[in-house]
């Protein structure tokens, strides 16, 4: 469809800054009936998101779906985000020096959920957009909402994220950064719950998983694109059973990964002891302000309840928080 026709068709959509569920039906049927098939159409969709960053749930879902699908099928093999594609995506999101809006951040997370593999900089870029969005939402009144916490959870467990299901050091650092910038704020309780359990998961267990390299997938065309794994269910099983739950859940994750990539070598290891290096990291992060707040104290209590054999530095922190 010629670019001018798209602009004419969507001119009235989102005029009040809001895209309704009916507007989305119109977009699907009359504007992007074949999906977003070229960069001119993608530009029109992003322009609409900039004009109308609010809307019904269907609008957020449609924008994420259409944008992510465009980037993940632009080049073969489908499902892989190349460095060139990421640079193009980054330019769209940060045009005119702007940070990602809420709708664009949701799209970035959706892309990481759908992708088999993204670039090494994708997770870092998305994490930085979380920091900027929450910090700059309201000057002097940064807070993490329930919607923020839900999106953060999806980001942490995105299949093409920094560590897939495992919580990496960079992801744990992101959680601490958001916690520290919102100390004393009226954060949604879901954020404290996510912070405590995800940081503990980083310290207590690590999984190594590498998907097939893009070039190998292109040669074989034998990858499986099943994305039915349930991160929330996995995480619930993991944290509900202490260390035994961690072992069981990572075993299921390894089984899923093996099914997904039969030709790939998957390295998985379960660690029941927090290493001295990790303990030092936590001690440095949690002791930055010289005292524990309620959430940090709850994290240390949670670590103790898991029954881990903690190194001396972390044991001292747990004892201090008691």
Give me the pLDDT at residue 194, please.
95
Higher pLDDT, 218 or 199: 199
Please give the torsion angle defined by the CA atoms of residues 179, 182, 186 and 192, in that order, rounded to the nearest 10 degrees: 0
Give me the pLDDT at residue 312, please.
77
Q: Which two tokens stand for residue 21?
A: 């569920």
Q: Which two tokens stand for residue 201?
A: 């998961």
Confidence of residue 321 (pLDDT cuts 50, 70, 90): confident
295 touches 196 (CB < 8 A): yes
Give me the pLDDT at residue 201, please.
85
pTM: 0.74
Range 181-197 average pLDDT:
93
Range 268-279 average pLDDT:
57
- pLDDT over 90 (residue 289): no
Give me the pLDDT at residue 281, please.
86
Please give the torsion angle defined by the CA atoms of residues 209, 211, 215 and 216, in that order, rounded to the nearest 10 degrees: 100
Lowest mean pLDDT among 102-111, 116-125, 170-179, 301-310: 301-310
Residues, the chain = 322
Range 149-154 average pLDDT:
95
Q: Compute the mean pLDDT over every residue in the chain, rounded to the nearest whole number.
A: 78
Give me the pLDDT at residue 189, please.
95
- ∠ at Cα 235 (231, 237), nearest 5°? 120
Give me the pLDDT at residue 313, please.
76
Give me the pLDDT at residue 301, please.
86
DSSP string, 136-159: HSSTT-----HHHHHHHHHHHT-T
- pLDDT over 70 (residue 77): yes
DSSP string, 76-126: SSTTB--HHHHHHHHHHHTGGGPPPPHHHHHHHHHHHHH-SB--TTHHHHH
Higher pLDDT, 232 or 25: 25
> Which residues 6+ apart lie within 8 Å of 113 measured at CB?
154, 158, 159, 160, 227
- pLDDT over 90 (residue 167): no
Determine whether 10 is exposed, middle or buried from the number of CB atoms within 10 Å of its CB (0-12, 13-18, 19+): buried
Give me the pLDDT at residue 87, please.
93
Range 136-163 average pLDDT:
81
Higher pLDDT, 58 or 304: 58
- pLDDT over 70 (residue 129): yes
State the residue for tokens 């290096």: 277
Confidence of residue 249 (pLDDT cuts 50, 70, 90): low
Give me the pLDDT at residue 16, please.
94
250 touches 164 (CB < 8 A): no
């Amino acid at each position: 469809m010629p670019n001018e026709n798209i602009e004419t068709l969507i001119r009235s959509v989102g005029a009040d800054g809001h895209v309704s569920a009916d507007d989305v039906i119109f977009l699907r049927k009359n504007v992007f009936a074949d999906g977003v098939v070229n960069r001119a159409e993608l530009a029109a969709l992003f322009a609409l998101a900039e004009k109308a960053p609010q809307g019904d749930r269907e609008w957020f879902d449609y924008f994420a779906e259409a944008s992510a699908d465009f980037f993940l099928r632009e080049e073969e093999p489908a499902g892989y985000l190349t460095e060139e594609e990421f640079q193009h995506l980054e330019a769209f999101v940060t045009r005119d020096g702007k940070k990602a809006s809420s709708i664009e951040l949701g799209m970035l997370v959706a892309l990481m959920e759908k992708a088999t593999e993204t670039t090494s900089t994708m997770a870092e870029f998305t994490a930085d957009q979380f920091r900027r969005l929450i910090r700059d939402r309201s000057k002097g009144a940064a807070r993490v909402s329930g919607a923020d916490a839900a999106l953060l959870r999806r980001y942490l467990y995105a299949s093409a994220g920094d560590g897939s299901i495992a919580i990496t050091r960079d992801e744990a650092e992101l959680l601490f950064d958001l916690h520290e910038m919102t100390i004393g704020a009226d954060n949604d309780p879901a954020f404290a719950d996510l912070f405590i359990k995800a940081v503990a998961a980083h310290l207590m267990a690590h999984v190594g998983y590498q998907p097939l390299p893009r070039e190998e997938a292109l040669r074989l065309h034998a990858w499986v694109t099943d994305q039915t794994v349930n991160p929330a269910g996995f995480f619930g099983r993991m944290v509900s059973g202490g260390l035994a739950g961690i072992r069981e859940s990572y075993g299921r994750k390894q089984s899923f990964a093996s099914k997904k990539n039969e030709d790939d070598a998957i390295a998985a290891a379960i660690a029941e002891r927090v290493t001295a290096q990790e303990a030092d990291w936590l001690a440095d992060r949690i002791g930055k302000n010289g005292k524990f707040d309620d959430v940090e104290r709850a994290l240390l209590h949670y670590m103790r309840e898991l029954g881990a054999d903690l190194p001396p530095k972390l044991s001292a922190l747990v004892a201090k928080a008691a």
